[in-house]
Amino acid sequence: MISRQDPAAVQGFLEDTSNLKHGWTPGVFFPESEEEVAALLRTAAAEGRRFTVAGNGTGTTGGRIPFGDHVIAMHRLNRVGGVTPLDDHTATIRAQAGAELQELQARAAAAGWFYPPDPTEKSCFIGSTVANNSSGSRSYLYGATRRHVRALRVALPQGDILEIARGQYLADADGRFSLDLPLAGHLSFLRPDYGMPSTSKHNAGYFSAPGMDLVDLFIGSEGTLGVILEAELLLRLAPAKVFACLCWFMDEDGLFGFIDRARSGGSGVAPRALELFDRHSLEFLRQSYPAIPQGTAGAVYIEEETTPDDEEACLEAWMSLMESSGSPSDLSWAALDAEGMARLREFRHRLPVLVNEWLSRQSESKVSTDMAVPDAQARQLYELYRDACEAESFTFIIFGHIGNAHLHLNILPRDRAEFDRAKALYRKLVTRVLAMGGTLSAEHGIGKLKSEYLVQMYGERGIMEMVRVKKALDPYLVLNIGNLIPKSFYESET
């Protein structure tokens, strides 16, 4: 197996998109087989090694950044298998953890199928999207990665390789999982004893529910319970056509009325994506898109799947909803074909690029949220962010998955004093969102950046529930230490 210790090769593994600094590692391993991953883990405790798993570095929370641990880089485990139809509407595909999402999506599309999970950055690895339960704009209709995982192969921290098909290992009536493994022996542990928020997206901490499937414990566990080696994923029949549109609103009442009606389905529309751009996001975008109408209070991006038979009715339903919500349909930017879709996709991609360009001219990094609240409180979340940032005179943008009451706030500090104030505001916003019944993370996960705030969400007792599950599977604490669970909680256990 190739391993590298030289600074030039290692440097890229000390970064992701979080801007978390001061990571370091004695070396990076590039396993080429499942057995090589398992062998690293099997000897870890005896050799006094810990490992951090690295995907392709598009994560936003520092999860793949090591702080003294060795790195297992998944890049060479990148095979994508063929498509196996299950029936007329669904199929499966297997992919190794280091396969890029865009390759899997292309492979599925070439066979006439469609893989819905779609984090905006398509160069991410399949294993990471499972470890992080990633989602994206289409998750409004299709849900996050969790809903599309049929089976996993996982290297457990003591070196066993476990294949888990859905339905194979379920928590019993007491919430207990029991497993017999060649190396780890008999494992018996209860699912985490805590409730989950009633948001429609949630991605903070280990999943827990009565009768839950072991597959769901690994999904979203951010590499703390095992290394994802391979996943069997569910595909759907590719839609015949997709209609997409950017709808402009001159006032916020119209915009939120539109969202409420689109969500209720009462207007004859059935969106698969409902995404918000606030006025500040549009100001950034205007640098690249001067045709954005002046005086716009915000925009909503929608997508709906159609067929040649119902395309016209779909268009009419959206046009009429726009008009009745005060959004001039003749000004909207609609896409009816692949070329148009690509143009609107590029528009959405452009926002983080422009924000990053702006940040590169300042000395500070952004402070950003990934929180969601119960669906009915979407507007309250937006107003909470807007009012708090306006009161501080911050430069900020609010955008994202409004259909799931899940908005990203990016505060863009101009100097250290503003950065400190933004961090203080972030803490207050976490408290407010949790009091609304919300979640700390709806899609990006916790990583190392947000683990201290996870304590606020679950309380110390909840975090100790995660420690208990972690130690049942990883008794020598060799894997992804520092992700999700603050390190101090391993030491504080009695």
Ligand X SMILES: Cc1cc2nc3c(=O)[nH]c(=O)nc-3n(C[C@H](O)[C@H](O)[C@H](O)COP(=O)(O)OP(=O)(O)OC[C@H]3O[C@@H](n4cnc5c(N)ncnc54)[C@H](O)[C@@H]3O)c2cc1C
Please report, as ranges, the residues that interact with ligand X according to CB under 6 A: 16-17, 52-60, 63-64, 74, 97, 119-121, 124-125, 127-129, 131-132, 134-136, 222-223, 227-228, 352, 443-444, 447, 480, 483
Closest CB to ligand X: residue number: 63
Helix (H) / strand (E) containing 95: strand 90-96
Q: Please say which residue, 192 or 447, places its beta carbon nearer to ligand X.
A: 447
Q: Please say which residue, 57 or 257, places its beta carbon nearer to ligand X.
A: 57
Q: Please say which residue, 299 or 314, places its beta carbon nearer to ligand X.
A: 299
Closest contact distance (angstroms) between CB of 152 and ligand X is 10
Distance separating alpha carbons of residues 331 and 354, to the nearest angstrom:
24
What count of other Cβ atoms lies within 10 Å of the Cβ of residue 178?
Answer: 11
Closest CA to 74 of 134, 155, 145, 149: 155
Q: The tokens 């207050």 sit on which residue? A: 428
CB 43 within 8 A of CB 68: no
Phi, psi of 48 (to 5 degrees): 65, 35
Closest contact distance (angstroms) between CB of 123 and ligand X is 7
Closest contact distance (angstroms) between CB of 60 and ligand X is 5
CB 455 within 8 A of CB 466: no
Q: Please say which residue, 92 or 129, places its beta carbon nearer to ligand X.
A: 129
Closest contact distance (angstroms) between CB of 460 and ligand X is 23
Residues forming beta bridges with residue 278, ordered by sequence position:
298
Q: Please say which residue, 257 or 278, places its beta carbon nearer to ligand X.
A: 278
Closest CA to 18 of 448, 481, 492: 448
Distance separating alpha carbons of residues 148 and 134, to the nearest angstrom:
11
Closest contact distance (angstroms) between CB of 400 and ligand X is 8
Closest contact distance (angstroms) between CB of 480 and ligand X is 5
Q: Please say which residue, 42 or 444, places its beta carbon nearer to ligand X.
A: 444
What count of other Cβ atoms lies within 10 Å of the Cβ of residue 353?
Answer: 12
Q: Please say which residue, 188 or 287, places its beta carbon nearer to ligand X.
A: 287
Q: Using CA atoms in the order 124, 127, 132, 133, what is the torsion angle rounded to 10 degrees? A: 100
Query: b vs e for 358-368, b when ≥16 Cβ sit within 10 Å of the residue's Cβ?
Result: bbeeeebebbb
Closest contact distance (angstroms) between CB of 463 and ligand X is 17
What count of other Cβ atoms lies within 10 Å of the Cβ of residue 62?
Answer: 24
Q: Please say which residue, 133 or 208, places its beta carbon nearer to ligand X.
A: 133
Closest contact distance (angstroms) between CB of 106 and ligand X is 17
CB 487 within 8 A of CB 481: yes
